[in-house]
Amino acid sequence: MPNETNPAAAKKSRRSSGAMTLQDVAKLAGVAPITASRAINTPASVSAEVLHKVLAAVEKTGYVPNRMAGSLASSRSRMIAAVVPSTVMSVFVETVETLNNTLFDAGYQLMLGQSSYSVEREEALLEAVIGRRPDGIFLAGILQPGRARTRLMASGIPVVESWDLTQTPIDMLIGFSHLAIGRAAAKHLLDKGRKRFALVLAGDERAARRASSFTEAVAAAGLEDVFTVNVGDSRTLKSGRNAFIKILTQIPKTDAIFCSSDLLAMGVVTEAKARGINVPKDLSVMGFGDVPFGADIEPALSTVRINGGDIGRMAARYLIDRAEGKTVEKPIVDIGFSIIERAST
Amino acid sequence: MPNETNPAAAKKSRRSSGAMTLQDVAKLAGVAPITASRAINTPASVSAEVLHKVLAAVEKTGYVPNRMAGSLASSRSRMIAAVVPSTVMSVFVETVETLNNTLFDAGYQLMLGQSSYSVEREEALLEAVIGRRPDGIFLAGILQPGRARTRLMASGIPVVESWDLTQTPIDMLIGFSHLAIGRAAAKHLLDKGRKRFALVLAGDERAARRASSFTEAVAAAGLEDVFTVNVGDSRTLKSGRNAFIKILTQIPKTDAIFCSSDLLAMGVVTEAKARGINVPKDLSVMGFGDVPFGADIEPALSTVRINGGDIGRMAARYLIDRAEGKTVEKPIVDIGFSIIERAST
DNA sequence: TTGAAAGCGCTAACAA
DNA sequence: TTGTTAGCGCTTTCAA
C-alpha cells in the first residue's frame, strides 16, 4: 500500500472516488471501521468515549457516508421509487408530495419516474427502477399484465398500486372505485333535477369507466342518451372550452356536464359564462380531482375529491413497514371518494 | 461453497439479496462475469457468439443488473438529484418534469427532494442527497451560505443552481433577474396609463426583490407609493381574493396590481369580478409564472413567463455533460423572461 | 476479444 | 462493547 506512512498526503488508490471514507474516519478516531459505523448509525451501541471520538473525526473530515456502499452491503437502499404519468397539472402531485415528505421523515429518498402516459416508457422506467433495487415502488395506477409486471413480481420488491381497484393487484393496493364515482356523480346531478347530460373526457381508461357507469345510471333514470365528447388532454382548460362549444352545437338543451378533470370543468364554466349561460342556473358543471383552488373560483366548482394526501401517506407507511420487515400483509384498501357540492351544480 | 453441485436448488449465501447476479448469467452462458458485463454494457466489444449466449442467459434468468453495485464499482451513479421547495401548484413543476424526462432519455434517474420552503429541511435533504453520491444536483433556487453549501462544494458533485442570478454560484447557474422583472412589470403597467399601484406577494425573498424594483420604478415615474399586501401562500387563489379585499379597503383607487404568482392574480381577478369591477377596464392585474391555463381563463391573464422547460433541459444537459466528463465549463446563463400581455391588463 | 484479480465503501456474521 | 473477516455485485486494471 503506497503512502501509508504519510497520512497528510495519503493519495487514494486510483480506483477511489476521492471522498472521505469510513476508513479515514476510523483511522482518525483510532477505532475499527465497524466501530465508527456503529457510532454513526447506532450510537446507543457504543461507549460515550468512542462516540465522542468518532463524531469529532466526522466533523473534522467532513465525512458523508456513502449510502450506495451501505445499501449494497446491507441489501437495503432506503430508496422508494414512484412512477406517475405526469406531475404537471396532474391529479397525482398531492400524492407524490405527501409520499415524498413522509418518506423523507422516515429516512428514505424518493426516485421519481414519469411515464408520460406511455406504456413503453413505463416499461422502460420500471426496468430501470428495478435495477436500482429500491426498497419499495409506488405506482400511480394499476400495472397491466406484461413484461414489466412480470419482472416486478419476480423482483420481490414491495409494490403499492393505487388510484383504482382490481382483484389481482401485484401486491398492495390503495384505490377507489371509478364505477362508483360515475354513479355518484350521476345521482348528484339527477338529484338536482337535471334532464339532459353530457360528458367531457380525455382518453384515459379510468375516466372511460367513470363515464360508462355515469351513462348507465342516467339511462336507468329513463333519460335520454348521454352525449360524450372526447378531448385530447385533461390537463388543459382550453379542451374544456372547446368541448362545451361542441356540446352546445350538438345538444343545446344540455343542462348537466360531468368532466374527467377540474380543469376541463373550469373550461366548460368559462366558455359558458363567456356565452352568457348561467352556471348553475342553466347548467350544472362537475369536475374530478378537486384542484386546490376549485373552492375559490366563481362559481365554486363541484367536484369529486380523492384524498391524494392520504394515499401518499398510507403508501409510504406500507412500503416502509414492509421494507423494515414489520409486516408481511398485503393490504387492499378502498379509500373512497367524496362528492364535493359547491356552487357550480 | 454449499449447494454448488445442484444449480436448481442452489441457495445463495446468507448475505445475498437472492436476486439473479451477473455471476449467474455468466455461469449459464459459460463465460467469465466480466465478459457477461461487457456483452450487456458494451455489446460492440464482444464476439457475436458470446453476445448471443449472454443475452439468452439474461432472458432465461430474468436478470436485471444491480446498478447500485455498478455505481459503487465505477463511482458513477447515473442519478441526478433535484431539490425543490414544493411540487404542488408550484412554478417549478415544469422544470422538474422536463429535467426528469431529459435525464431518463439519457439513461439517468431523478431523485426528488422537497424542502417545503424550510432551510433546515433543505440542509438535511442535501446531506442525505450527498450521501447517495448523485452524479449531479439541481437546485431550484440559490443555496445560501451555510453548512449545506460548504458540504456541497466540498463534495465535488456538479451543481446547477437556478431561478435567480448571483455573482457567487456554487458551480453552474441557469437563472434570470428578478429585479429586471419588477422593472419590466412596472413599465408594462405604466405604459397602460395606470396611476395607482399595488403588490400582492407571499413571503418569498425573490418575490420581494421583484417587488422592490417594481416599487422603485413606480416611484421613478413620480407616482404615489405602491401599496403592498403580504399573504401567507402564493399557491392559493384564496389569498389573492383576500388581498384584493384589503387593497380595496385601503386604497380604493388602485388600478393596477402585480402579484407574485398567477394563482394570486386569479384570486384578485375573481374577487374583482365578484364585486362588479371590470378587469382590465377599471383594474389591470398581472401574475407571475404563466400557469398552463392562464391564457384560457376569462379574462386571459397577463403574466411574466419563465421558460421552465428550457431550464430543465439545459440543466439536464449541463449535468450529464459534466458527469460524462465532456466539459469542465461552469456556464452561467441568464435565460431571461417574457412579459406576456393578455386581456387582464 | 477474453479473463483473473483486486477492489469500490460499507455492513452482516461471528468471535472475543 | 469492540474487532476480525468476509462478503454485497459489480467494474477497473492489467495480462494473455
Tell me the percentage of chain B whose pLDDT exceeds 90.
92
Q: Is the CB of A13 under 7 A from strand C?
A: yes
What is the CB neighbour count within 10 angstroms for residue B316? 27
Q: Which residues of chain B have pLDDT under 70?
A: 1-14
Query: What confidence score (pLDDT) does residue B211 get?
Result: 98
- What residues of chain B, 174 to 233, have a C-beta less than 8 Å from chain A? none
Q: Inspect the interface and report whether the beta carbons of B156 and A293 lie closer than 8 Å.
A: no
Contact between B93 and A87 using a beta-carbon 8 Å cutoff: yes
Chain A within 8 Å of B61 (Cβ-Cβ)? no
Q: Is B107 exposed, middle or buried (0-12, 13-18, 19+ CB in 10 A)?
A: exposed
d(CA A71, C1' C13) / Å: 17
* Strand D contacts in A 23-82 (CB under 7 A): 31-35, 38, 45-47, 49-50, 69, 72-73, 75
**Contact at CB, A235 and B292, closer than 8 angstroms:** yes
B133 touches strand D (CB under 7 A): no
Question: For residue A141, how many C-alpha atoms fall within 13 Å in the half-sphere facing its CB?
Answer: 21
Residue type, A294: G
Q: How many residues does chain A have?
A: 345
Q: What percent of chain A has pLDDT over 90?
A: 92
Separation of B53 CA and C2 C1' (Å): 14
Domains of chain A, earliest start first: 7-65 (1.10.260.40), 77-176+308-337 (3.40.50.2300), 178-305 (3.40.50.2300)
d(CA A72, CA A75): 5
Q: What is the pLDDT of residue B13?
A: 64
Contact status, residue A185 vs residue A286, Cβ threshold 8 Å: yes
Distance to chain A for B216, nearest Cα, Å:
32
Provide the whole-model pTM. Answer: 0.95
Residues near B158 by Cβ (< 8 Å), separated by ≥ 6? B135, B136, B137, B171, B172, B318, B319, B322, B323
Tell me how far apart the alpha carbons of residues B74 and B70 are, in angstroms, rounded to a whole number: 6
**Span CA (B74) to C1' (D11), Å:** 6
Answer yes or no: is B16 CB < 7 A from strand D.
yes
Q: Search chain A and give the residue with CA nearest B234.
A: A293
* Nearest DNA or RNA nucleotide to A38 (CA to C1'): C11
In this predicted structure, what is the pLDDT of residue B14? 64
Per-residue pLDDT of chain A (345 residues; tens, 9 = 90+): 333 333 333 455 667 888 999 999 999 999 999 999 999 999 999 999 999 999 999 999 999 999 999 999 999 999 999 999 999 989 999 999 999 999 999 999 999 999 998 999 999 999 999 999 999 999 999 999 999 999 999 999 999 999 999 999 999 999 999 999 999 999 999 999 999 999 999 989 999 999 999 999 999 999 999 999 999 999 999 999 999 999 999 999 999 999 999 999 999 999 999 999 999 999 999 999 999 999 999 999 999 999 999 999 999 999 999 999 998 899 999 999 999 999 999
CA angle B280, B282, B287 (to 5 degrees): 45
Residue A22 to residue A17: CA distance in whole angstroms: 13
How far apart (Å, rounded) are the C-alpha atoms in residues A311 and A308?
A: 5
* Alpha helices per DSSP H over chain A: 22-29, 33-41, 48-61, 67-74, 93-105, 119-131, 147-155, 178-191, 205-220, 237-250, 262-274, 308-323
Contact between chains at B241 and A88 (C-beta distance less than 8 A): no
Contact A293 B112 (CB under 8 A): no
| Distance from the A223 Cα atom to the nearest Cα atom in chain B, whole angstroms | 33
pLDDT, tens digit (0-9, with 9 covering 90-100), for B72-118: 999 999 999 999 999 998 999 999 999 999 999 999 999 999 999 89
Which residue in the set B68, B151, B292 is minimally distant from A77, CB to CB?
B68
Binding-face residues of B in 306-345 toward A, CB within 8 A? none
Residue A13's pLDDT is 64
- A19 shares contact with chain B (CB less than 8 Å): yes
* Beta-carbon separation of B111 and A113 below 8 A: no
Contacts of residue B176, Cβ cutoff 8 Å, sequence gap at least 6: B163, B164, B165, B306, B334, B335, B336, B337
Angstrom distance, A15 CA to D15 C1': 18
CB-neighbour burial class of residue A325 (10 A; exposed 0-12, middle 13-18, buried 19+)? exposed
Å: A202 CA to C10 C1': 49
Contact between chains at B104 and A113 (C-beta distance less than 8 A):
yes
Q: For testing the chain B interface, which of A97, A129, A264 should be mutated: the one with the most B CBs within 10 Å?
A: A97
Give me the residue label for grid cell 420552503.
Answer: B117
Contact B129 A109 (CB under 8 A): yes
The chain B residue lying nearest A291, using CA atoms, is: B89
**CB-defined contacts A:B, below 8 A:** 174
For strand D, the positions having any atom within 7 A of a protein Cβ are: 1-5, 7-14
User: A161 and A172 in contact (C-beta within 8 Å)?
Assistant: yes
Residue whose C-alpha is closest to residue B158's, from B37, B326, B306: B326
In whole angstroms, C8 C1' to A82 CA is 28
